[in-house]
Amino acid sequence: MTSEISKTVFKWITENAENLSRWNQIIWNLAEPAWREYESVSFYIDILKQNGFKVERNSAGMPTAFYAEWDNGNGPNLATYAEYDAVPGQCQAATTYKSPREGLSQHASGHTDPHSALGISALGGLLATKATMEKHNIKGKLCFTGEPAEKLRGSKPIHAAHGYYDGLDAMISFHPCYMIPWCNTVRWNIHCGAAFAMIYRFESLEPENWLNQHVDQNAPIPQSHSEARTPGTNDALFLMYSSSRSLRDSMLPHTGSWSMNEMILTSGQATADNLAPQISELQYMIRVPTIDQAQKVMTFLDNNASAAAKMTNCKFSKHWVSKSRPGLPNHTISKLVFDALREVGAPVWGVKAKLIANDMRKNLGLSKTKNPFLEESEKIIDPKVAEDIVRRDLPPSQLNFTSDDYTEMCWHVPTARLYIARPMLAPVKGFSYPNWVMNALGGIPETIDPMIMTAAKTIGLSFVAMLTTPDKLKKAKNEFTKRTGGGIHGSKWIRPLCDYEPPINFAWPDYIQTKTGKEWWLSSVGY
C-alpha cells in the first residue's frame, strides 16, 4: 500500500472529524433502547444514501435494521457495521457530575459501551475507504449493516440466518475497549463465547374456576374477591425467578466462566382488586463459552418454568430472543488490522480532555493528577501478549471468553475483532468509579473523539490494505476454510442457530411521546 493511499484515508477523516464528532453526539443523545432505535436507524440510512449507498430497510424483517452496499467494480467485498442501542437505567448527561439528560428520568436509556461511538467510528472508516477507492480507482464493494439490539444479542444471529454475511471477503468488528488488557489491539485465539436469550411467558388458566368446588355455583358472583386469592402469573414468575436464582447462585458457578441475567418484562395486567394477573414475562440471558453449556443451562430453566406453571394453574411458553454462536479466530485478517493500528497509533487525550477528567475527579472527591486517564489507554498491546494475560485466569480447556454477537459473522467471513481504548480514568486505590463516569465520558466530545478518530483511521487503513493486497485476503480465506473444515457447510462449521422470528413485539422499554415532549416510559415523578 502506497503512502499516497494511506494519506487519502487520513486526510478524509481529518477533514470530516467535525462531522464524525457531531454524528456521534446525535446518536448518543438519541439513546434509543433495543428494538426501538427508530430515529437512530433513519439517521444512518440518510447518511449512507447521501454518500451513494444502496440501502435495504427492515433487513431480515427487523424494523430498526438495515443493509447497505456501494459497488465500485469487480473486487473484494468488505464489510463492517453499526450498533446503536442504548441501555435502560443508564441515562447520563455529558457532564462532569451525575445528572440525567435534560427532561428525562434517570431510568431512561443511555449509551454505556458506547454504541454511539462504535457505529460512527465504523461509518467513518467505511466512508474514508469509499473516498480512497474513488480517488485511486480501487475496485471492490463496501457493505455496512445496521445491527439493533446488540445488548440482547438481537440482530446478528437473524442477519446470519438470512444470509446477509455470505459472500463477503473480510469483516471488521470494532468495539470500544471494555476490559484490560484488550485495550488497543485485536483478539487472537480467545474470542467471545455463545449466548442464549429467551423469554418465558406465563398465562393464567381459568382463575375463576380455581375455587369453584368450594362455592355456590348458583350465585352470579360466586364469592367476592375469591379469584384474587388464586395462584396466578405473578406467583409463577416468582417461583421461576427464585428457583432459577438458586440454580445460578448455588450450582452453576462451579462449572467455569459464565453468566446468567434475568429481567422481568412489564406487560399489561388487570388492575382490579378482585382479579388475578393473567400474564407475566421473565427474560433470561445466558452467556457461556460453548453452545453445549448454553443448552444445559436452558434445560434447567425449561424444567423450572414447567414446574412453576404446574404449581400455579398456569401455562408457559418460551420465546427466543437470541441464539448466538461462539467466535472463530482468523489470524491473517487480525494481523492485517493490527498492523494498521500500529501505523495509526494509539489514541491520545489532550489538554482539554484532561481538564474535563480532572473536573470529574474533583466532583468525586478526588485530587487532580497530571494524567487522569488510564495509562494503558494510550498504549498499543500485542494481541498475543494480551491473550497470555487473559489466559492466566481461564481454565486450560476454555477457548472462549466474554460475550458479543459479532461471533455470528466469524462463521461466514474472515473476521477481525478490533479494540480501541475509550476514555477511562486512572484507577484510585480503594475507590471504584460509579457507572455514570464512563457513560458521561462517552458523550463528551473532547474525551470520546480521540477514540472515534483512531478507530475510523484504523478501519479505513485496514480496508484499503485488503483492497490492495488480494493475496492476504486469499490467505485469510484459506485459513477460514481450514478452520471450518471446508468453509460454509464444512465439517467443523457451526450453522446459524436462529430458527425464530425477530422478537420485536415484546414489552421492551421505550420512550413515549406526550404533549410536553419525549419522556421515558417510567416517569421521573417520585424519583
The per-residue pLDDT for range 410-440, each reduced to its tens digit, is 999 999 999 999 999 999 999 999 999 999 9
More confident: 131 or 267: 131
Residue 106: partners with Cβ closer than 8 Å, 6 or more residues away = 89, 91, 100, 524, 527
| pLDDT higher than 60, residue 192 | yes
Q: Of 53-62, 210-219, 393-402, 425-434, where does mean pLDDT reach its minimum? A: 210-219
Label residue 266 left, alpha or beta by phi (over 0 means left) and psi (-120 to 50 means alpha): beta
Domain ranges of the chain: 3-192+326-483, 195-211+223-325
Q: What is the pLDDT of residue 469?
A: 94
Q: What span, in angstroms and rounded, lies between the C-alpha atoms of 479 and 152? A: 30
Assigned C-alpha cell, 182: 484488550
Mean pLDDT of the residues in the chain: 92
Residue 64: partners with Cβ closer than 8 Å, 6 or more residues away = 35, 36, 37, 38, 40, 41, 146, 148, 149
The Cβ-side half-sphere exposure at 308, using a 13 Å CA radius, reads 29
What SS3 class is residue 508? coil
Q: What span, in angstroms and rounded, lies between the C-alpha atoms of 282 and 171? A: 35
| pLDDT higher than 80, residue 444 | yes
Q: What is the pLDDT of residue 126?
A: 98
Assigned C-alpha cell, 166: 455470505
Look up the CATH architecture of domain 3-192+326-483. Answer: 3-Layer(aba) Sandwich (3.40)
Q: What is the pLDDT of residue 275?
A: 72
| pLDDT higher than 80, residue 208 | no
Taking CA 176 as the corner, what is the angle to CA 159 and CA 496, rounded to the nearest 5 degrees?
Answer: 20
**How many percent of the chain have pLDDT more than 70?**
92
| CATH class of the structural domain 195-211+223-325 | alpha beta
Q: What span, in angstroms and rounded, lies between the C-alpha atoms of 333 and 473? A: 7
Q: What span, in angstroms and rounded, lies between the C-alpha atoms of 156 and 173? A: 12
The sheet that has 279-288: what strands, in order across it? 259-265, 279-288, 194-204, 314-324
* pLDDT digits 0-9 by tens, 78-113: 999 999 999 999 999 999 999 999 989 899 999 999
Q: What is the pLDDT of residue 526?
A: 44
Q: What is the pLDDT of residue 260?
A: 86
* pLDDT digits 0-9 by tens, 29-46: 999 999 999 999 999 999
Q: Where residue 215 falls among pLDDT bands split at 50, 70, 90? A: low
The pTM assigned to this predicted structure is 0.94
| pLDDT higher than 80, residue 228 | no
Tell me the mean pLDDT in the region 189-205.
94
Question: What single DSSP character describes residue 402?
Answer: S
| pLDDT higher than 70, residue 210 | no
Q: What is the pLDDT of residue 255?
A: 61
Q: What is the pLDDT of residue 459?
A: 98
Q: What is the pLDDT of residue 366?
A: 96
Q: Where residue 515 falls among pLDDT bands split at 50, 70, 90? A: confident
**How many percent of the chain have pLDDT more than 90?**
80
Q: What is the pLDDT of residue 527?
A: 42
Contact 410, 170 (CB under 8 A): no
Our CA dihedral for 182, 186, 189, 194, rounded to 10 degrees, sits at 70
Tell me the mean pLDDT in the region 13-28.
98
| pLDDT higher than 90, residue 214 | no
Q: What is the pLDDT of residue 276?
A: 75
Partners of 455 in beta bridges: none
* pLDDT digits 0-9 by tens, 383-395: 999 999 999 989 8
* pLDDT digits 0-9 by tens, 301-337: 999 999 999 999 899 999 999 999 999 999 999 999 9
Write the burial class of residue 499 (CB in 10 Å: 0-12 exposed, 13-18 middle, 19+ buried): exposed
Q: What is the pLDDT of residue 252?
A: 64
Q: Of 56-60, 108-112, 515-519, where does mean pLDDT reach its minimum? A: 515-519
Q: What is the pLDDT of residue 359?
A: 98
Amino acid letter, 226: S
Q: What is the pLDDT of residue 247?
A: 77
Question: What single DSSP character describes residue 189?
Answer: S
